[in-house]
Structure 1
Amino acid sequence: MASPVFPLQAYAGNLDQVYLVGGLSTMLDRLLLLFFASPVLGALVSEPPPPTPRSPAAPVLAWLPVRLNHFDASNNDTFQMRYYYNDEFARTNNIVIVLGGPWTISPDWASGGLPHQLAEEIGAGLFYTEHRYYGQSRPTGGTSVPELRYLSVDQALGDLAQFIQHVQSDQFQGGRFRGGQVALAGCAHAGSLATWMRLAYPHLVSAAFSDSGPLLAHDEFAEYLEVVWEAVRAQGGGACVATLDLALERLFAETLTQEGANRVSNMFNTCSPIEGTNPLDTSTFFWRGVLEPLARLVQSATPGDIASACEVLTDPNVSKPTERLAKWVTSQQWAQPCLQASYTAHLAAHTNTSYDAPHSVDRLWMYQSCVEFGWHQTTASFNSFHNAVALPYFRALCRQYFTEDFDETLQWAGIERTNLLFGGVTYMPDAVVSVVGGHDPWWPVGPNATHATHMSPVYVVSGGSQCRVIRSTGESETQQVEVVKRAVLLNMQQLLSGKPPTHVSSAAVVCSPLAIILIIASLTFVL
């Protein structure tokens, strides 16, 4: 059987932190709507879709000079770090900071989303910071290998530490935020940064909220595609998974010869013929042309998205699984006017060292993957096409994006360093509220319910994708997501008040709907 056996540690072993909501009465639904209507962050390299604006206030764009190297006192070089600031709720000296990840920040996340609601609840100033090297926060003139030496997690955390010290100083608006509580929030990689910031600078950060933040640096991340397949099976059905299994098995066999590779090229409308004799070319086709689109579908899915894709993938009017897969892939907007599956073209696009190059962000993230995280998403778990995208492909990318020095030894050293500095999932710092989606392909390298502690709850949204909880209440796809959002707001307010967070068990939610109302109502009595 091509589909993998799912060998990962089950997060369902401890359901105390998992919200399961169902069977609510019509009257209760109406009560919840009243509460919910009231006012109260594929890849990890794109900003989460903008939340619905909650107010007309326009965030202010500002810049702060921060140190280029936080760990060399003799280096006084600085660069301009960009951020947005919204003071519409700032009636106290508290601040909420939304962390940017590997993307260009926009004002939207300073105008809406769950952090915006938290700022309103605690009367805080709201900030949205940009990650060094990404967006317009550019420490160097380009992204050549020597210029990337300051792109690391610990340097990014140093930026945030300097930013917090500045906002709490007299230099910022006369010291209006001096001595206040500091709350961080982020999703995807920005969620990881929020957790690590609380771990590295507990004297500066009072509480942190991480939505879908991976924590364990991991070289070969075959589990990623395992979750993709499980999500497709659960939301799209067994026939959809069977189509993927058969299609990929046959495509892999076809690309072993140039004649077969030519047929695949025609079927998927590639921009240039796939070189069947070049494993780098065939792996580029499988990853960029087939598996990455599936990963993107699952990672950002809302209810119905996977089922809609599976309608195409199981279309009875198209007899061959390969043709059904090609029909779905070639219908995507990003595959127009043709599918770029050439390794040579891919390499040329990603070795451009200009910040303004179209694939600059991908290059920057690949650098961090090669020297800090790994997270190489291979097909090793699949018997019939396990070599379609193998680890040597990513080893080659690291060497050829950068230099031959970026070999396996360097990558392993970077992964070990990251886990040594931040503990992977072996240690959860206090005062961190974590959320993970059960169908987010990144969950195997993030916290799950078994990692929860008395002071750091972990909520698993069953069937959820990435970054669904950081959005505002009232715009949730399911009741479960809505309830988890309310729990996060409550927990963050409790932690900022010096109180332990309330853990609501699945039993309390399912068996006693009144408990949900009590959680929501308690939000107004925390501070």
Structure 2
Amino acid sequence: MAAAQHYYTEPHPSRASEPPLAMVLSVLKLTRIFLYCASSCSAVRMVCRPAPALLVLISLVALVLGVSSSSLFIPHARVDTPFLTQASHWFNQTRDHFSPIPVGTFTQRFYEFFDHFHAPNGPVFLLICGEAPCGGIPNDYLRVLAEKLGAGIVALEHRFYGESFPAPDTSAASLRLLSSKQALADLAAFRNFYQGVLSQKYGVSENQWVSVGISYAGALSAWFRLKYPHLVTAALSSSGVIQAILEFPEFDEQIATSAGPNCSAALRAATAALEAAVVKNEALVKARFGADGFSDGDFFYLVADAAALAIQYGHPDELCDPLVAAYGAGSDMAETFLSYTRSFFYKDMGNDPLSYGMQNVKDESVHSRFASDRCWWWQKCTEVAYFQVAPVNGSIRSQKVDLQYHLDRCKYFFGDAVFPQVDATNVEYGGKAIRAKKVFFTNGSQDPWRHASKDQPSEDLPAQVMQCHNCGHGTDFRGCPQSPSQPNGNSSKCEHPAAVDKVRADVEAQLKGWLNVKYSEFVI
């Protein structure tokens, strides 16, 4: 594996006005014994905090250091904002980890949040960003876990997404550098780089690391623990899609189950009404959905996702209530579904209908607004597929969205030589029979992706399913609904908050055991 040359261009915001490291460490070493000896401790949790008499001493130390006294040990958590931080940092990453000769580097974006970090020995969460631009570290339940465990958080943007491009375009030739193997090697190189930053700052050789991810990033988290067990102590895989699947009718079967019989019947009626409407006046129907010029396959893929993503992300009532009412009243189901799609799927959920058009995803520019869609199609067309096809019986999805539709898309985008190597992917990582250790898998009961995940525990691989009406994709971190993610992963809007909170408590307890947490909450 070729070695990367790294640089660290921007300091953590809390370090912007810090004095030299040697001065900080010298003063802290002199005062640390006083802080420990005179601290007030809780016998129940062994939480040590400074006694009031020491506040003056701490203030004097802070004055000497030129920092706020509270910044020495009191975190400054953002508890009500969408992101904990959006301050970008950059890392010089190897373009091709598996080339026998050096082929250069590219700049990869990352973020850091250390408000809760128990220096110097606290653990570090490596948050893996998946198949979309990484705009920062979200303020979800991971922040709560970091506070409970005294952990720092760093997040790495996935190559070929956002602003982290190792190639000048997204042509098929350039996308040869986009694979799960390259992404895992990126994580390994970044983890070692950032450990070096921590070692230099705090004088420790190694911190404990925990990889974290949701969905495809959840799969990467589990795979990272499998392939690089010496670099991460444990992994959290939320809705982690670890099983590559060529044909995935189980996705729609779960949507029908999660929607319930009345809503499923209404959705089938809506699909049938739209199919009839397209036959009668194709151009008008597609234009009203903002899908001008779409093929029938593309249009009905959009229609299927408009329903499925509401279930997937914890909005079953927003989808089902108007459709069931219209179906019961004998109303026009095509018009009802159009109204729902415009008002909720587009406006409230923020989905772009143009991203479903093949001609738009064909664009090879890294500046295209559909660049992420194209790159994810490459990963589906080469490694994982997850092709959502209509089930044979009782399908909500149009039968026009079949396996051939997906394979034709792959050829249109990338040429005849591309075919999803799902068997090779499952051999590489094990699929649901993954043989890693210390990976915690979590899923929502209503999430269609749970059928590509691991929802049954095995040796040293705990797995739990959160049971509730709106428990969908990444519920344990995002709360309910899952889109948009709730601040601190608030579970109060979940149908059964206790079911979510119980899984979270089990994850926390398991992590503490794996990490063998012994240190005090008050550590400088």
Please say if residues 168 and 175 of structure 1, whose CA atoms lie closer than 8 Å, have aligned partners that are also in contact: no
Aligned counterparts, 1:499-518, within 5 A: none
Query: In 2, distance between residues paired with 1:447 and 1:133?
Result: 27
Equivalent pairs counted in the alignment come to: 424
Shifted more, 65-74 versus 171-180: the winner is: 171-180
Map of 1:149 onto structure 2: 176
Q: 1:444 aligns with which of 428, 451, 473?
A: 451
Paired position in structure 2 for 1:92: 120
2:136 counterpart residue number: 107
Distance 2:108 2:198 in 1: 16
- 1:357 and 2:357 matched: no
Determine the structure 2 residue equivalent to 1:229.
256
Q: Are residues 1:287 and 2:301 paired? A: yes
| Aligned residue in 2 for 1:392 | 404
Kindly indicate whether the alpha-carbon contact (under 8 Å) linking 2:361 and 2:370 is maintained by their aligned counterparts in 1: yes
Pick the aligned partner of 2:432 from 425, 430, 436. 425
1:319 aligns with 2:331: yes
How far off its partner does 1:460 sit? 0.5
Structure with more contact order per residue of length (Cα contacts < 8 Å, sep ≥ 6): 1
Ranges in structure 1 where 5+ consecutive residues have no aligned partner? 1-50, 275-280, 500-522
Cα shift at 1:123 = 2.5
Q: Would the alpha carbon gap of residues 208 and 250 (structure 1) be closer, same or farther in structure 2, given more than 3 Å must change?
A: same
The 3-state SS of whatever aligns with 1:469 is helix
Whole-Å separation in 1 of the counterparts to 2:204 and 2:80? 25
**Alpha-carbon deviation of 1:140?**
1.0
Corresponding residue number in structure 1 for 2:378: 367
Q: Aligned to 2:465, which of 455, 460, 471?
A: 460
Deviations 1:425-477 (A, max 9, x none): 0124110111011111111111012xx12422101012420011014365442
The alpha-carbon deviation at position 315 of structure 1 amounts to: 6.1
For the Cα contact (< 8 Å) 1:215–1:446, is it kept in 2? yes
1:215 aligned partner: 242
Counterpart contact for 2:273–2:334, Cα < 8 Å: yes
SS in 2 for 1:387: coil
Give the Cα–Cα distance (whole angstroms) in 1 for the partners of residues 110 and 325 of structure 2: 42
Separation in structure 1 between the aligned mates of residue 317 and residue 466 of structure 2, nearest angstrom: 16
Distance in 1 (alpha carbons) for counterparts of 2:199 and 2:89: 12
Q: Does 1:378 align with 2:386?
A: no
Superimposed CA distance per residue, residues 379-438 of structure 1 (whole angstroms, 9 cap, x where no aligned partner): 1334577622111111111011111222xxx32xx2122111100001241101110111
C-alpha distance in 2 between matches for 1:485 and 1:492 = 10
Report the Cα distance in structure 1 between the residues aligned to 2:188 and 2:284, rounded to whole angstroms. 55
Structure 1 residue 482: Cα displacement: 1.8
Offset of residue 366 of structure 1: 0.3
Alignment of 1:159-198 (within 5 A): 159-169=186-196, 173-174=200-201, 176=203, 178-198=205-225
Residue number among 473, 483, 493 corresponding to 2:502 in the alignment: 483
Report deviation, 1:342.
Answer: 9.0
Q: SS of the residue aligned with 2:391?
A: coil
> Which stretch of structure 1 is more off in the superposition, 474-483 or 165-174?
165-174
| Distance in 2 (alpha carbons) for counterparts of 1:252 and 1:193 | 38
Q: Distance in 2 between matches of 1:429 and 1:65?
A: 29
- The aligned counterpart of 1:63 is 90
Structure 1 contact 261–273 (Cα < 8 Å) conserved: no
Q: State TM-score, norm by structure 1.
A: 0.73
**Paired residue for 1:249, among 231, 252, 272?**
272
SS at 1:358 equivalent: coil
> Residue deviations 1:247-274, cap 9 Å, x none?
323443554x4x35467458x5555477
* Separation in structure 2 between the aligned mates of residue 313 and residue 497 of structure 1, nearest angstrom: 56
State the distance in 2 between where 1:485 and 1:203 align: 26
Task: Name which of structure 1's ranges 88-97 and 189-198 shifts more when overlaid on structure 2.
Answer: 88-97
SS at match of 1:63: strand
Q: Provide the rounded CA distance (Å) in 2 between the counterparts of 1:323 and 1:393.
A: 26
2:358 to 347, 353, 362: 347
1:39-97 CA-to-partner distances (Å, cap 9, x unmatched) read: xxxxxxxxxxxx95489975653111111111124124111111111222332332111
- 2:323/2:333 contact within 8 Å kept: no
8 Å CA contact 1:220–1:376 kept in 2: the answer is: yes
Q: Match for 2:299: what amino acid?
A: F
- Partners of 2:290 and 2:231 in 1: how far apart? 51
Question: Is the 2:96–2:177 contact (alpha carbons within 8 Å) kept by the matching residues of 1?
Answer: yes
> Once the two structures are aligned, what percentage of the paired residues are identical?
25
Partner of 2:20: none
Residue pair 1:240, 1:313 contacting (<8 A) in 2 also: no
* CA 239–133 in structure 1, closer or farther in 2 if over 3 Å, else same: same
Q: Quote the offset at 1:145 in angstroms.
A: 1.1
RMSD: 3.1
Instruction: Give 1:227's aligned amino acid.
Output: Q
1:404 paired to 2:416: yes
| SS of alignment partner, residue 219 of structure 1 | strand
Q: Distance in 1 between matches of 2:315 and 2:168?
A: 39
* Secondary structure, aligned partner of 1:213: coil
Answer with 172-181 or 238-247: which moved more: 172-181
Whole-angstrom CA distance in 2 between matches of 1:54 and 1:486: 23
State how far apart, in whole Å, the 1-side matches of 2:268 and 2:208 are: 51
CA distance in 2, matches of 1:250, 1:59: 44
For 1:72, the equivalent position in structure 2 comes to: 99
CA shift for structure 1 position 157: 0.4
Normalised TM-score (structure 2): 0.74
Secondary structure of the residue aligned to 2:432 is coil
Select the structure of larger CA radius of gyration: 2
Q: Any unmatched runs of 5+ in structure 2?
A: 1-77, 479-487
Amino acid at match of 2:400: A
Distance 1:269 1:139, change over 3 A: closer
Moved more, 178-187 or 475-484: 475-484
Whether contact under 8 Å (1:195, 1:208) holds in the other structure is yes
Instruction: Give the whole-Å Cα distance in 2 for the aligned partners of 1:465 and 1:360.
Output: 26
**Structure 1 pair 434/313, CA: closer, same or farther in 2 (3 Å)?**
farther
